[in-house]
Chains A and B, each alone.
Chain A
Amino acid sequence: MEIGPQQPFLTTKLDEFIAWAQKSAIWPMTMGLACCAIEMMSIVSPRYDTSRFGAEVFRSSPRQADLMIISGRVANKMIPILKQLYAQMPDPKYVISMGACASSGGVFDNYAIVPCDHFLPVDVYVPGCPPSPDALIYALMQLRREIEAGGKSKVLARNA
C-alpha cells in the first residue's frame, strides 16, 4: 500500500504491524517423528507453555500451519511425505530442524537416516538429543526475531 514517497511512515508502520502479527501467531504443524516429538509436546505442557507466544495451536493440516518442526530422525520412507507436507504448506512457512538427528543424522551414521536439510530448506537448527523444551523455545524466539526483522536479520541459518 503506497501512499507516496513522501509518506513512508504509514507503510513502515503497517509492515511492523504485519510482522508483529505474524510472529505472535506461528502455528506449528503436528509433525512428531520420534523422541524429539515428546519434547515438542512438552512445550505445550504447563511447565514450558508456548501459549505465551501464541504458538500452542498445533494444526494437523499443513494447509493451516506456518511452521514445520522436524522433530525426530528422518527415515528413507518418510522423505517423500515430508516433501509433500512442505509443499502443501502455504507461504510464509518456516522449518525448524529439531534435534541432532534431524539436523545431521545425529547418533545414527547409517543407511537409514537422512539429515532433513538434504531435501528441505531449514531456518533454525536446534542441537540436542533430544533438545530440552527450553532449547526449542529459544529456536522459536530466534524465528520470531527473524520475522520481526523482515527476513533481513543475520539470526537464521538461511541468511547467514
Chain B
Amino acid sequence: MSAPTGLKPFENDPDVTLAAADERDTLIISMGPQHPSTHGVLQVMLRLDGETVLTAEPEIGYLHTGIEKQAENLMWQQAVTVVDRADYLAPLSNSLCYVLAAERLLGITDEIPARANVLRVMFAELTRIASHLVWLGTHAMDLGAQSIFMYAFEMRERILDIMEFVTGARMHQSWFRIGGLAIDVPAGFLDKIGAFVDAFPERLRDMRAILEQNIIIKDRLIGVGKMSAEEAIAWGLTGPSLRASGVNYDVRKAFPYSGYEAYEFDVPTHSGGDCYARFVVRLNEMHEAWRIVKQTAERFPGGPVVIDDRKIVPPPKTEIQHSMEALIHHFKLVSAGFNVPEGHIYQAVESPRGELGMYVTSAGGNKPWRVRWRPASFYNLQALKHLAPGNLIADVVALIGSLDPVFGEVDR
C-alpha cells in the first residue's frame, strides 16, 4: 500500500469517516532505547495521531563512548584498536579509513605494497558483505521473515571464519595497520576464499528469491520513506541510501583508494528513493562486493605486506634476534611510536553505510591530535526526522532498517 499523502490516512476513502483530531488526541511514545527493532540503542520520541506519526525525534547518545577522545590518548598505531569499534558491523572499514588518513599524512601511500592493497580491498569487501548480511537478517526479521535471519547469519559465519583464520579475531580484527597489514595471510588462505566465492552466489540467489518479489516485502517497503535526490543530498545521505534515490555517488569510484580503480565493479543505483529501493540496492551491492572479492582472489600478488620503513613498521621478529638495530627500532616503536608530520587531512572510504570520513589533525607528535569522524550513520539517521512523519508506526521500523544505522558510529 502506498504511503499516505497528508498526515491523515484514508483521507479520500469514502468508507472511512474520521473525526477531527486536535492536540489532545495525540500520544507521545518513546520507542526505545531498548527495543527489538531499533537496531541498537536508539530512542525515537514519536508523536502519534492514532497510528500515524506526526513527528519523530530520534534521541541518540546512548552509546557515546568517547572514541575520538580515547584515540587522542593512544599512539598512532594503537589507535587502530579503538577506531575499529565505532562501526562495529564493519570494523575493517573504520580502520581502513584511519590507516589511509595516517598514511597520507606520513606520505607513504604510494609505498604500500601491492599485496597489502589487494588484501585490504579483499577484506574491505568481505566486511561489506558481512555487514550487509547482518542488515538483511535483521531488517527482514523486523518485517517478519525470521528464517532469513538464520540464512544470513549462517553465511556471515563463513566470512567470520575467514577473518578468524587470517587475523585471529572474528570482529574487531585491528589487522590493517599504518604501513600495511599486521601479519600476512597463512597458507591455505586462497582455498578458503575460493570456497566462499563459490558458495556465496547461490545463497544470495536463494535469499533474493525469497525476498525480492515477495508480496509482503513489497507491501511493507514500496512507497515508504520516499526521498527525492534533492532531499537526499540536502539531508547529507551517502551510501546505499543516496544511491537508492538515483544519485550515483560512490567514494570508491569518485575518490579511489587502495587500488579500487583497477577492479571491475558496478555501482548499483535505483530511482525509487523508497525503502524498497534501498533494499534492492543493498542486495545488489552484495553481489558487486562478491565480484570484487573474486577479482582480488584471482590477481593475488606476492611480496611483502608492510612497507620497508623501520621507522614506522617494526622489523620481523627473526631479525630482532640477531640485529641490534632491529631491536632498537622495535623498542622505540613499541614504547614511543612514530611521529606523524604536522598537518590535517580528510580521508573518506565507502563503508557499507556510506561515506565514512575522518578528518585527522596531527600536531607532529606520536599521538593523533584530533580524529574527527564523519559518521555515515549519523547523517543517514538524521533523515528519519524528515521521513517518518506521515507514515504509520510500523513503517518507522522499516525506515530504521532501511537507513541501516549502527550506533557505535552514530554515538562514537
Contacts and interface: CB of A to CB of B under 8 A. Distances in A.
Touch test A–B (CB under 8 Å): yes
Interface of A: 29-35, 37-39, 41-42, 44-47, 58, 60, 62, 72-73, 75-78, 81, 85, 107-113, 129-130, 132
Interface in B47-67: 61-67
Given A34-B408, A47-B157, A60-B34, 18 more contacts: A31-B34, A34-B63, A35-B88, A45-B157, A46-B150, A72-B63, A78-B63, A107-B70, A107-B81, A107-B85, A108-B66, A108-B67, A110-B69, A111-B69, A112-B64, A112-B66, A112-B69, A113-B65
A138 to B, nearest CB: 16
B203 interface: no
B260 interface: no
Interface of B: 33-36, 40-41, 61-67, 69-70, 81-82, 85, 88-89, 134, 138, 149-150, 153-154, 156-157, 170-172, 407-408, 411
B63 A75 contact: yes
A39 to B, nearest CB: 7
A47 B154 contact: yes
A15 B41 CA distance: 39
Contacts of A39: 170-171
Contacts, number: 101
B36 A38 contact: no
Contact of B85 (A30, A31, A35, A109): A35
A89 B146 CA distance: 26
B127 to A, nearest CB: 13
Q: Which 7 A-B pairs have the closest CB atoms?
A: A45-B153, A35-B88, A112-B66, A110-B66, A60-B36, A78-B62, A47-B157
B217 to A, nearest CB: 21
Nearest to A42: B153
Given A42-B157, A107-B81, A73 B34 contact: no
A38 B63 contact: no
Contacts of A108: 65-67, 70, 82
Q: Is the interface of A mostly helix, strand, loop or mixed?
A: loop
B41 A107 contact: no
Nearest to B67: A108
Contacts of B69: 110-112
Contact of A35 (B36, B62, B149, B408): B408
A73 B65 contact: yes
A31 B34 CA distance: 6
Given A30-B36, A38-B89, A76 B70 contact: no
A34 B150 CA distance: 20
Nearest to B78: A107
Nearest to B61: A77
Among A32, A35, A72, max chain B CB count under 10 A is at A35
Contacts of A73: 63, 65
Contact of A38 (B33, B65, B134): B134
B172 A75 contact: no
A130 B63 contact: no
14 contacts: A30-B36, A31-B34, A35-B171, A38-B89, A41-B134, A46-B150, A47-B157, A58-B36, A75-B411, A76-B64, A108-B65, A111-B66, A111-B69, A113-B66
A42 B133 CA distance: 12
Contact of B150 (A45, A60, A76): A45
B64 A77 contact: yes
B206 to A, nearest CB: 14
A113 B67 CA distance: 10
